[in-house]
Structure 1
Amino acid sequence: MQYPLWQILVTMAALFLCILWIFLLFKVITDLFRSQDVGGWGKAGWLLFIVIFPAIGVLTYLGVRGPSMAEREMAAAARQEREVQEYVRTTARIPNQADELSKLAQLRDHGDISEAEYQRAKEKILS
């Protein structure tokens, strides 16, 4: 059985276009649901249009809302970056109880605080 080179190239090109189409379809649907300026009924209408008439729906969506897709994606990335940075800042500020207790023990061992002060501080940290 022979499979000529041109048929292999045509098959590969068709496969590439199918994968590209699926990627574009998911990108449009993701952008649609990420968008804050379209209400629920608007999103439902766009989704229905894209599902019933996929080619026309996606091309229309790209024509109407395509220029602002990059802006929405960059805003979402910036929002996610801010959330990660805030999480890191918040997590880094929380002192670990074990670290605090070891610092207290060092202060007590060096004689900087008394045993009673150590016990009060220890109870405060553990509570």
Structure 2
Amino acid sequence: MPLLDAFLLMMWFFLWILWFFLLFRVIMDIFRSRDLGGWGKTGWLVFTILLPFLGVFVYLIARGGQMADRQAAQAQAQDEASGAYASMAVPEGVGTADNLAKLAGLRDQGVISGADYERGREKILHQTAA
């Protein structure tokens, strides 16, 4: 197999994988979108499944600008939920060292992220200083 043929085969393979990522991203966005009703979601989904290339391109033209906004809103909601969980995990009336140790334990177990740990730590230290 000549080198150019191998290169073209790899290029088509990666473009095919990229296409599937784009298709799944659009399908996930259809389900994530709160401004579409059930019939709207069904219509876009059927259009995307029956005519995948045309459906994805039309969806990206019609609603692609809002995809990033919906993803950012979902990430923010997850961040707020993990922050609320971290604040609930640290009980009131326990010493500062105990609170910091429990918070570090949650971070080490992977229950909360490093950013959640830092927010919780700042909150504990701020409560202690006040």
Q: TM-score, normalised by structure 1?
A: 0.71
Output the CA distance in 1 between the equivalents of 2:35 and 2:76.
18
Output the CA distance in 2 between the equivalents of 1:93 and 1:36.
35
Match of 1:25 among 19, 23, 26: 23
* Pairs aligned (count): 95
* Corresponding residue SS for 2:42: helix
* Corresponding residue SS for 1:36: coil
Corresponding residue of 1:71: 69
Output the CA distance in 2 between the equivalents of 1:57 and 1:19.
18
Output the CA distance in 2 between the equivalents of 1:95 and 1:83.
23
Stretches of structure 1 that go unaligned for 5 or more consecutive residues are 100-127
Corresponding residue of 2:49: 51
Match of 1:88 among 78, 86, 89: 86
* Alpha-carbon offset, residue 91 of structure 1: 1.2
Structure 1: 4+ residue segments shifted above 6 A: none
Corresponding residue of 1:42: 40
Corresponding residue of 2:2: 4
* Alpha-carbon offset, residue 92 of structure 1: 1.1
* Corresponding residue SS for 2:90: helix
Give the aligned residue type for 2:40.
G
Tell me which structure has the larger Cα radius of gyration: 1
* Corresponding residue SS for 1:93: coil
Aligned residues: CA RMSD: 1.5
